[in-house]
Amino acid sequence: MNLRNFDYDELVQLFNNNDLPAYRAEQLFTALYSNKVDSLDKITTFPKELRADLMAHHTIKSFKAMKKQVSVDGSIKYLFTMEDGKSIEAVFMPWYDDAEKTNIRNTLCISSQVGCSLDCKFCATGTMDLERNLETHEIISQILDIEHDLNTKITNVVFMGMGEPLLNYKNVARAVNILTHPLTDLMSRRKITVSTSGVVPSIKKMANLSRPPKLAISLHGTTNGFRDKIMPINLKADITVLMNAVEDYYRKTKLNITYEYIPFDGMNDTIEDAKRLAKICKRVPSRINLIPFNDISFTEPTGIAETLKPSSSERIIEFANEIRKFGGIVTIRDTFGSDIDAACGQLALSTRNSTSEEV
Ligand code: SF4
């Protein structure tokens, strides 16, 4: 059993079932997430026999192998091979204050599933079938193993890698619970963003967590007609249903919402779209992130995917200004790692990783 699969209360229960006191569970939890031990034999607060017993039946290792590719912009794409041979990716993005030349935050984009079932037409992962959900330990270990490899602290986590996090709700919610637990100093709930294409039942559940994370919505369309075509999940929960869930999330959590929006040339970047986006943005405190479209031609797109072309950078700037004119708040997001196929939310296991460095 992997001990990173248990939140604090579950660890206490596990120890209790084995006639061990609760304070031992607290020591283990602190060792795993405050001291960030990478091996059970390093938990020196435990007597030797207890360590040996734990090691006989448990582990904290999730991955068989880890490879990385470093981009010219400083971002790093990690490829993890799991115990069953399946692979996932995570992308490390360092942010700098240009004037001060200091590192202001380190964001990690992590995966929640192997593949994805949702078939968003602009997404490389969407061209893969869903193979399985990640377990909690595989989610947590992406963060801890990369911190260990880079000898740095991850300050922000975004669930925008492979998979739809809210279709793996139980394990994602448990990972959020562990990361934000008051016994660890891993991160505040405001530093974790769960990005969803619109899984409404899970948005409702997540709003009731004791420490809910920030919510980002992959919107990418302002009409049901267009969103139906590029994001089939819209046929299950349309924009009105989704917006009601978003309002409910804000009311319960008081956390500002982010809308992710890829402008596609001549398709969803019109002045009417700008007006509708501004209107959406004003419903609850929120911001729109405009994300330049990354080339997914290595996946050989067909159907509507073939017709999706990126808006030019000039048009994206104009579009942002139009949204602002109508009262919306907009950021044009930096792209990271385009030379290593590391676009967040658009990851797929490209075969172009032959230059990866094994670590
Ligand atoms: S954008 Fe997200 S939900 Fe849509 S196919 Fe890609 S990974 Fe799945």
Label residue 306 exposed, middle or buried (CB < 10 Å: 0-12, 13-18, 19+). Answer: exposed
Q: Do 105 and 201 belong together in one domain? A: yes
Q: Do 36 and 111 belong together in one domain? A: no
Report the amino acid identity of residue 129.
D
Question: What's the pLDDT at 345?
Answer: 47
Residue range 311-330, pLDDT digits in tens: 999 999 999 999 999 999 99
Residues spanned by the domain of 53: 3-57
Cα distances (Å, whole numbers) of residue 20 to 26, 164, 267: 11, 37, 61
Question: What's the pLDDT at 352?
Answer: 41
Q: Do 197 and 234 belong together in one domain? A: yes
Identify the CATH number of the domain in which residue 46 sits: 1.10.150.530
Q: Do 250 and 354 belong together in one domain? A: yes
Whole-number Å distance, alpha carbon 130 to ligand 1 midpoint, is 10
| Structure token digits, residue 286 | 């929120």
Question: What's the pLDDT at 268?
Answer: 97
Whole-number Å distance, alpha carbon 260 to ligand 1 midpoint, is 12
Q: Which of 14, 42, 57 is the last residue of a domain?
A: 57
Q: Do 78 and 41 belong together in one domain? A: no
Residues 221/178, Cβ–Cβ less than 8 Å? no
Q: Do 268 and 199 belong together in one domain? A: yes
Positions of E strands within the chain: 63-70, 76-82, 87-97, 102-109, 113-114, 132-133, 156-159, 192-196, 214-218, 257-261, 286-290, 330-332, 357-358
State which of 109, 110, 119, 125 you would mutate to test the pocket of ligand 1, scoring each by most atoms of that ligand within 8 A of its C-beta.
125
Q: Do 176 and 302 belong together in one domain? A: yes
Whole-number Å distance, alpha carbon 11 to ligand 1 midpoint, is 32
Q: Do 315 and 349 belong together in one domain? A: yes
Q: Which residues have C-beta atoms less than 6 Å from ligand 1?
A: 116, 118-120, 123, 125-126, 162-164, 197, 218, 345
Q: How far apart are the C-alpha atoms of 173 and 76, rounded to whole Å?
A: 26
Question: What's the pLDDT at 263?
Answer: 97
Residue range 53-81, pLDDT digits in tens: 889 999 999 999 999 999 988 899 999 99
Q: Is 26 considered catalytic here?
A: no
- The active-site residue out of 26, 49, 89, 306 is 89
Question: What's the pLDDT at 124?
Answer: 86
Cα distances (Å, whole numbers) of residue 60 to 8, 155, 226: 15, 22, 45
3-class state of residue 59 by DSSP: strand
**Tokens 């309002």 -> residue:** 247
- The active-site residue out of 116, 120, 123, 344 is 344
Return the residue whose CA atom lies nearest to atom 5 of ligand 1: 126
Q: Provide the pairing of β-strand 63-70 with 132-133.
A: unpaired
Q: How far apart are the C-alpha atoms of 220 and 210, rounded to whole Å?
A: 30
Q: Do 217 and 344 belong together in one domain? A: yes
State which of 109, 112, 123, 202 you would mutate to test the pocket of ligand 1, scoring each by most atoms of that ligand within 8 A of its C-beta.
123
Return the residue whose CA atom lies nearest to atom 3 of ligand 1: 164
Cα distances (Å, whole numbers) of residue 239 to 53, 87, 101, 168: 53, 33, 42, 22
- 238-242 long-range contacts, CB within 8 A, separation 24+: 241/200, 242/198, 242/200, 242/217
Q: Provide the pairing of β-strand 330-332 with 214-218.
A: unpaired
Q: Do 39 and 144 belong together in one domain? A: no
Taking the model in full, what pTM does it have? 0.93
Whole-number Å distance, alpha carbon 323 to ligand 1 midpoint, is 25
Whole-number Å distance, alpha carbon 347 to ligand 1 midpoint, is 9
Mean pLDDT by runs of 10 across the 359 residues of the chain is 95 93 95 93 90 91 92 92 94 83 89 94 88 97 96 96 97 97 91 98 97 97 97 97 98 97 96 97 96 81 86 97 97 78 55 51
Question: What's the pLDDT at 127?
Answer: 84
Q: Do 40 and 175 belong together in one domain? A: no
Total domain count, the chain: 2
Question: What's the pLDDT at 261?
Answer: 97
Identify the CATH number of the domain in which residue 121 sits: 3.20.20.70
Atom of ligand 1 lying closest to residue 117 CA: 8
Q: Do 46 and 121 belong together in one domain? A: no
Atom of ligand 1 lying closest to residue 163 CA: 7
Cα distances (Å, whole numbers) of residue 50 to 44, 56, 120, 139, 183: 10, 10, 48, 27, 22
Question: What's the pLDDT at 356?
Answer: 58
Whole-number Å distance, alpha carbon 243 to ligand 1 midpoint, is 19
3-class state of residue 292 by DSSP: coil
Q: Is 131 considered catalytic here?
A: no
State which of 109, 159, 164, 346 you would mutate to test the pocket of ligand 1, scoring each by most atoms of that ligand within 8 A of its C-beta.
164
